[in-house]
Amino acid sequence: MSKQKQAAQGSAAVPEAALTFGNMSPLQKLAHVSKVCVFFLTLGFAYPNILGE
């Protein structure tokens, strides 16, 4: 078994870095802002976990 697969199975696996708004591409930013707009227009029923991203 490779070291990478073995590390991913144990509790010592390193989590992936969170994607921040500053690190997003322009298309990803547009998609995120669109989701936030839909979230507010539907009072949170669409994309209920958008604030956790």
List pLDDT tens digits, range 11-28.
Answer: 666 667 777 888 989 999
Evaluate whether residue 4 is within a structural domain. Answer: no
- Count of domains in the chain? 1
Helix locations, the chain, DSSP H: 3-9, 26-41
Has residue 30 been placed in a domain? Answer: yes
Q: Is residue 3 part of a domain?
A: no
What is the pTM assigned to this prediction?
0.55
| Domain housing 35 | 19-53
Is residue 36 situated within a structural domain?
A: yes
In a domain, 26, yes or no: yes
Q: How confident is the model at residue 39, as a pLDDT? A: 84
Domain-located, residue 5: no
